[in-house]
Amino acid sequence: MLTLKQIREDKAFTLERLAVKGVDATEAVEKIEALDDERKSIQAQLDACLAQQNAIAKEVGMLFKQGKKEEAEAAKAKTVQLKERSRSMEERLRAVGEELNAVIVTLPNFPNKDVPRGKTAADNVVVRMGGTNPALPEGALPHWELARKYDLIDFELGVKLTGAGFPVYKGKGAALQRALIAFFLDCNTAAGYTEIMPPLMVNEASGFGTGQLPDKEGQMYHVTLDNYYLIPTAEVPVTNIYRDVILDESDFPIKMTAYTPCFRREAGSYGKDVRGLNRLHQFDKVEIVQLAHPDRSYEALDGMIAHVESIVQKLELPYRILRLCGGDMSFTSAITYDFEVYSAAQGRWLEVSSVSNFESFQANRLKLRYRDAHKKTQLAHTLNGSSLALPRILAHGQRRAGRNADRTPERQVRLPHSRFSGRATRTHRAH
């Protein structure tokens, strides 16, 4: 979450930055200012009251020593009144603090200065493209029909077992899924990421720490009896490993990777654009997470983008990288780059990865800090990215799988680690 200092330091800047994300924060910021002023006023009154209590306590002791019992008792009675008053102010201070915090957590992260203005995916900016779009023959089948033809994925069986959006992978479909997971993890660990196997459910504190809670869009599955949440991404448990931790500067960068199933309600996801593997309630994803020094987090971001790009290149997929506009970014992100691959059978681009820098937004919620050179604690920066999400990678790859259903080629193409660069152009992005 934003810090109170960030919000109050420059009101005009706060409103301008949040407006880039399509948020009119005028009312919220004014309420924050009023509550903060009230909090300061109560604190000043409380401090004065406590100081008066201490002075009177000393006076009572002196009066008793001097044998002035009546005066001492009168002073003690005044102390009782002051204690009652201070308890009332402490309760009010706590209530105002909670109300202040509740308003602050409703505000999204400031977008970075490089985030383009815009409201929808149409305003996103293409910064790089690679690979060659395949030319499919007339009558090419989409992946959901190929999956049925070669018995790779059974969507109807998933409906029987659970519901829509919970596919069953079978035979070579399951083997391909397993192979891709291992491939992505191997790429990540070779790049210095430590592999983690986290829980698939988290508590409320973990969900709040990375910004999924409060869940405004109803995207998380809630295990009500135990008040646990099924993870929407490995980012949640992996980043929370460092909740309430104070690091040393020398600990950076901290690089972690994890494979997990992911669970998302995806409320309101219906229609042709979500058929097959395009949008699921349960899917597999390999995630990368970094904790970085604030001075080097954007260098870390470039490295993560280059790393994801190298994996997409090894898969020989046609891709593009987009810098998301303010209106298409997540609540927590300061800047996000999406990777999309082109599905020739569907004739559209499909997102397979998002790489984001959250700056100190998550760290403030997590209380994730480090000691600087002066031994002063500062908020760290957090980053994460998909490396990669499997459903749409698998959907694209089924064109080859269908053509080679009787053999499984084992092939690895080693390409140089490319740097993130490119000229910006505006484009429509299909979901």
**DSSP for 313-344?**
HHTT--EEEEEPPGGGS-SS-SEEEEEEEEET
What does the alpha-carbon distance between residue 103 and residue 98 come to, in Å, rounded to a whole number?
Answer: 9
| pLDDT tens figures, 77-105 | 888 888 899 999 999 999 999 999 999 99
What does the alpha-carbon distance between residue 351 and residue 13 come to, in Å, rounded to a whole number?
Answer: 32
Helices (H) and strands (E) in the chain, counts: 12, 17
Q: According to the model, what pLDDT value does residue 397 have?
A: 58
What sign results for the dihedral spanned by CA atoms 101, 293, 182, 129? positive
Separation of CA 181 from chain center: 21
Q: According to the model, what pLDDT value does residue 273 have?
A: 56
Count of other CB atoms within 10 angstroms of residue 267: 9
Average pLDDT over residues 407-421: 34
| pLDDT tens figures, 105-132 | 999 999 999 999 999 999 999 999 999 8
CB 27 within 8 A of CB 117: no
Q: According to the model, what pLDDT value does residue 431 have?
A: 31
Separation of CA 101 from chain center: 19
Q: Which of 307, 392, 343 is nearest to 131 (CA)?
A: 343
Q: Which of 164, 163, 144 is nearest to 153 (CA)?
A: 144
Average pLDDT over residues 65-87: 82
CB 345 within 8 A of CB 369: no
Please name every residue paired with 335 in a beta bridge, in sequence order, or none if there are none: 357
Question: Residue 56: pLDDT band by 50, 70, 90 thresholds?
Answer: confident
Count of other CB atoms within 10 angstroms of residue 402: 17
Q: According to the model, what pLDDT value does residue 86 have?
A: 93
Q: According to the model, what pLDDT value does residue 139 have?
A: 76
| pLDDT tens figures, 222-280 | 999 999 999 999 999 999 999 999 999 999 999 999 999 999 987 545 455 566 787 79
Residue 428 confidence (pLDDT) above 50: no
- The residues, ordered by sequence, that sit 6+ positions from 30 with a Cβ below 8 Å of its Cβ are none
| pLDDT tens figures, 210-221 | 999 987 668 899
Q: According to the model, what pLDDT value does residue 420 have?
A: 33
> For the domain 121-426, what is the CATH code?
3.30.930.10
**Per-residue three-class SS string for 226-276:** CCEEECCCCHHHHHHHHCCCEEEHHHCCEEEEEEEEEECCCCCCCCHHHCC
What percentage of the chain exceeds 90 in pLDDT?
72
Phi, psi (rounded to 5 degrees) for 168: -110, 120
Range with lowest mean pLDDT among 131-135, 165-169, 400-404: 400-404
| pLDDT tens figures, 312-370 | 999 999 999 999 999 999 999 999 999 999 988 778 899 999 999 999 999 999 999 99
| 391's tokens | 């459903």
Residue 393 confidence (pLDDT) above 70: yes
Range(s) for CATH 1.10.287 in the chain?
A: 4-104
Give the length of the chain: 431
363-397 per-residue burial string, b: 16 or more CB within 10 A, e: under 16: bbbbebbbeeeeeeebbbbbbbbbbbbbbbbbbbb
Range(s) for CATH 3.30.930.10 in the chain?
A: 121-426
Mean pLDDT for the chain?
Answer: 88
What topology is assigned to 4-104 in CATH?
Answer: Helix Hairpins (1.10.287)
